[in-house]
Chain A
Amino acid sequence: MKQLLVSIFIMSCVTLFAQSSKVKVLEGAEFKESKKERFEGIISTDKTGYYAIRTKKSKTFLEHYDQKLNKTLFTELNLKEGKKDKVYEFVVDTEEKIYLFSSFRNQKLKKKFLFSQSVNKKTLQVNSDLKKVAEIDYSSRNRYKSGTFSHELSDDKSKVLIYYTVPVGKNEPSKKGLHVLNDQMKQLWAKNVKMPADAGFGLKDFKIDNDGNVHLLGIVYENGTSKEKRKGKPNYHYEIISYYSQGKKVKKYPVKVQGKFLRDMQIAIGTNNNIICAGFYSSKGTFSISGTFFLKINRNSKKIVTQNFKEFGIDFITQNMTVRQEKKTKKKKAKGKNVELYEYDLDDLIIKPDGGVYLVGEQFFVKVVQHTSTDSNGNTRTTTSYHYYYNDIIVVNFSPSGKIEWTEKILKKQHTVNDGGFYSSYVTCVQGDKMFFVFNDNVKNLQENDKNKYAYFTKSKKTSTLVMVEVSNKGQQKKEVIFAARSYPILARPLLSSQVSEDEVILLGQRKKVNKLTKLKFKKTKGQQIY
C-alpha cells in the first residue's frame, strides 16, 4: 500500500512539472486516417502555414494546414494527361513555388520521361505548365527496368539536381544521367557521366552546391572483387567525384584511412561552397565503429585542405554503459584489444555557421528471434519476431579546422517488437550552434540517474513521455519533458516528423487510426547564431 501511494505521488509530481520552458507546444486537431493512407511529411512552409503530402495506394494528395495546424485544403494531385496516367515521383519546394514531378513510360519510344509542373498554392491544383525535364532511354532493356529518377536540392533552393542510372550494355561501365535545373525548372546543364569502372562501384550520395556543381560520393571496390575485406584488410575506398563548369571539368578525391574500414560517410556543402566529408570508421571491419574522420575540400583550389581522423576515447565509448559493461570494456581495452561502438549509423552532417560540423548518429539494429514450441499433440510451431533497437544518439563536434571539440552520447533506450520502430528514433531541431533532440522515453527515466536502472520506452499511456534533450555548443546536455505521461495520448512518430523552419518542428502523432500534428516552437536565446 505504501509503495502504491509513493508511486502515485511520484507520477503526479512528474505530471505537474511537465512542460519544458524552452519549447512552446501547439497541438492540431485530431483526424482519422485509414490503414492504406500514409502521411509522407511536410514539404513546404510559408506565411500561411504548412504543405504536406499524403499518399493512398496509387493516389497522391496535397494538404495545407494553417499556422494553428487546422487543415484548410485537401486535394488529389491530378496526374492525368488526356487519357494517359502519369506516375507521381516527388515534390520540390523552392523558395517561391512548389513543383510536382511526375513520369510517364512511353512504350513506343522506349523512353521514360520526367515532367515538372508548378502547383498553385491557393488551390493546390497543378498549373498547366507541364515541361519535360529528363528522359531515360531504356530501349536496351524491358519496360519493367526503365529506371528511376532521384533528386537533390541545393542548400539555398536555387538549384535542383535530377539524376538516374542510364541503362547500358552488360560489359559497359555504369553511367549516371545528371540534369541541373534552376528554381524555375529550366535546365542549366545536362550530362551523362561514367562511373569508375573498377571491380565495383556503389553510389552513396549526391549533392549539388549553390553554384550548380554536382558532387558524388561512392565506394570503389578494388583488386577485381566487390568484397569489403581482402586478407583481413579493407578492399575498398571512398571517392568523391565533383563535376564543375557545367559538367565539363571533373575532379576526383579518393578518401582512404590506412588499415581502417570507412563506414557511413556523408558529404555536405559547407560555408563558401567548400565540400565537407565526414563519417565513421572501424578497425575490425565489422558492424561497429571505433573513430570518426573529417575532410574539407576547397572549392577554388579543388584540393583537400583539411583531413583529420580520430579514434573514440574509452570514456566516450563507455559513456552510458552499465557499471558491469563499463568494467568489462575497460578491461578489454587494457589488454590491448579493439573496443568499438556497436551498430551506429550516421544520420546527419550539420554544417555550423563557423564552418565546423556536427556529426549525428544513432545506434540502430534489428534482432530476429525465432521461438519453437510444441503443443500437446506434438505439433511444433515456429514464430519469428523482429526486435527493433533504437538506442543512444552520438554527437561529434568538429571545429572548422577538423579537430574534435567534444563528443557526447545522449542516453536513449527504445526497443519494440514487430512494428518497424514505429514510435522510435528521434527528430532534431538545429538552432544556430545548439541542437534539440526530441524522442519518446519512459517516465521512470526522468527521475533515474542510475544508468543500470534506465528503462526502455514503452507505448503504454501510463509510462510514455515525450522528452527533449538540449545539447549546447559546449556539449552540455539538459533533458526536459515536453509531454508528461498520461497527458500524452497520441504518441509522436519522430521518423515522420521534421524541422520545418529555424525554430519549429512539426511532429506527427499517431495512435491506431487517429493522427495529430503538433508544432514545437523552440525559443531562441540572446546572442544565438541562426543559420
Chain B
Amino acid sequence: MKKITVIFVLLQICFFNSFGQEDQTQDNNFQYFDDGIASGKNILKVNILSSLSGDVSVSYERVLNHDFSVEVRGGIIRSHYVPDFFSIGEYLDNKDEFLIKGGYSLGIQPRYYYHSAPELYYTALQLRTRHYILESQDMSFNDLYIITGTQKIIGENWVLDVSIGIGARLKIFEIESLDGSSKYQLGGVFPFSIKVGYIF
C-alpha cells in the first residue's frame, strides 16, 4: 500500500512538473504580448465639429474582421443647431428662426480599412438622418455620402479619427400650410469630421 502511494505521488509530481514547464514557457513569451491594450474591437467616439454645430451624438464602432468595421451613431439636436457651414451667416442674422424645439440624429457607416481595422486609412459609406422641429416647420436632412479618412490609436486607448467626404443630401421641409404638403430639396454635401474616442 505504501509503495502504491509513493508511486502515485511520484507520478503526480511528474505530471505537474511537465505542465509547470509548459506554463513557464508560456509565461516567458507572455511578457512580449502583454501590451496593456485590449484587443481593441470596440470604440466609443464623439464628433467634435458636429457637437460644436449642435448635433451632439455619440458613435460606436465595432470591428468585424481584419478589414471591416461598422459604426453607428445616435444623438440629439440642440436648440441652436446649424446644419452646415454655409448656414452660419444666416443663423447669426436670424437666431430666433433657428431655435429648435427638439431633434435627433442617427447614422450608420460601414468601413473598409486598407491596413488593419480599426487603424489608419479607410473608406466608408455613410447614411445619416437628422430630424428636428422648428417653430413653423419640421426639417429632415438625409445624407448619403462616401468618406475617406484615417484613424490613429494614440497611446494605449485613445483614438483620433479624421475624415472628409462627398455625397448627396435630401432636405425635406414639412411646413404647416393649408394642405400640409412637404417640400424637397436635393443638394450636395461635403462632410468633414474630427472625432475623438476610446478603444476597449
Residues in chain A within 8 A of chain B (CB atoms): 57-58, 81-84, 104-109, 113, 115, 130, 132, 143-144
Cβ contact within 8 Å between B156 and A84: no
| Residues A81 and B29 in contact in the complex (CB < 8 Å), given A57-B66, A108-B37 | yes
A108 to chain B: which residues have CB within 8 Å?
A: 34-37, 156
Cβ contact within 8 Å between B36 and A107: yes
Minimum CB–CB distance for B157 against chain A, Å: 10
Interface residues of B in 1-49 (CB under 8 A from A): 29-30, 32-37, 39
Asked if B116 is at the interface of the complex by the 8 Å CB criterion, the answer is: yes
Q: Which residue of A lies closest to B66 (CB)?
A: A58
Per DSSP, chain A at the interface is: mixed
Cβ contact within 8 Å between A106 and B39: no
Minimum CB–CB distance for A104 against chain B, Å: 6
Q: Which residue of A lies closest to B37 (CB)?
A: A107
Cβ contact within 8 Å between B32 and A132: yes
Minimum CB–CB distance for A503 against chain B, Å: 41
Interface string of B74-107 (1 = CB under 8 A from A): 0000000000000000000000000000000000
Minimum CB–CB distance for A418 against chain B, Å: 22
The total of chain B residues at the interface (CB under 8 A) is 15
B37 to chain A: which residues have CB within 8 Å?
A: 107-108
A82 to chain B: which residues have CB within 8 Å?
A: 30, 33
Return the contact of A113 from the options B30, B32, B67, B153 (Cβ within 8 A).
B32
How far, in angstroms, from A113 to B28 measured CA to CA in the complex? 13
Q: Which residue of B lies closest to A82 (CB)?
A: B33
How far, in angstroms, from A105 to B39 measured CA to CA in the complex? 13
How far, in angstroms, from A132 to B31 measured CA to CA in the complex? 11
Minimum CB–CB distance for A106 against chain B, Å: 4
How far, in angstroms, from A81 to B32 measured CA to CA in the complex? 10
Cβ contact within 8 Å between B39 and A83: yes
Cβ contact within 8 Å between A81 and B33: yes
How far, in angstroms, from A105 to B66 measured CA to CA in the complex? 16
Cβ contact within 8 Å between A84 and B39: yes
A-B contact pairs, 13 of them (CB 8 A): A57-B67, A58-B67, A58-B116, A81-B33, A83-B39, A104-B32, A105-B35, A106-B34, A108-B34, A108-B35, A109-B35, A115-B32, A132-B32
| Residues A84 and B33 in contact in the complex (CB < 8 Å), given A58-B116, A107-B156, A108-B156 | yes
B33 to chain A: which residues have CB within 8 Å?
A: 81-82, 84, 104, 106
Minimum CB–CB distance for B149 against chain A, Å: 16
How far, in angstroms, from A58 to B116 measured CA to CA in the complex? 8
Minimum CB–CB distance for A10 against chain B, Å: 51
Cβ contact within 8 Å between A130 and B35: no
How far, in angstroms, from A83 to B29 measured CA to CA in the complex? 13
How far, in angstroms, from A526 to B32 measured CA to CA in the complex? 56
How far, in angstroms, from A115 to B37 measured CA to CA in the complex? 20
B36 to chain A: which residues have CB within 8 Å?
A: 107-108
How far, in angstroms, from A255 to B33 measured CA to CA in the complex? 45
A104 to chain B: which residues have CB within 8 Å?
A: 32-33
Minimum CB–CB distance for B142 against chain A, Å: 33
Which 4 pairs show the lowest CB-CB distances between chains A and B? A108-B36, A106-B35, A108-B35, A84-B33
B30 to chain A: which residues have CB within 8 Å?
A: 82
B120 to chain A: which residues have CB within 8 Å?
A: 144
Q: Which residue of B lies closest to A86 (CB)?
A: B33
How far, in angstroms, from A132 to B28 measured CA to CA in the complex? 10
How far, in angstroms, from A130 to B67 measured CA to CA in the complex? 27
Minimum CB–CB distance for B14 against chain A, Å: 20
How far, in angstroms, from A105 to B67 measured CA to CA in the complex? 19
How far, in angstroms, from A58 to B36 measured CA to CA in the complex? 24
Cβ contact within 8 Å between A132 and B29: yes
Minimum CB–CB distance for A506 against chain B, Å: 30
Interface string of B152-187 (1 = CB under 8 A from A): 010010000000000000000000000000000000
A81 to chain B: which residues have CB within 8 Å?
A: 29, 33
Interface string of B111-124 (1 = CB under 8 A from A): 00000100010000
Return the contact of A106 from the options B32, B67, B153 (Cβ within 8 A).
B32
B32 to chain A: which residues have CB within 8 Å?
A: 104, 106, 113, 115, 132
Minimum CB–CB distance for B167 against chain A, Å: 25
A143 to chain B: which residues have CB within 8 Å?
A: 153
Minimum CB–CB distance for A455 against chain B, Å: 41
How far, in angstroms, from A104 to B67 measured CA to CA in the complex? 18
* B29, B34, B116, B156 pick with most chain A CB within 10 angstroms: B29
Minimum CB–CB distance for A137 against chain B, Å: 13
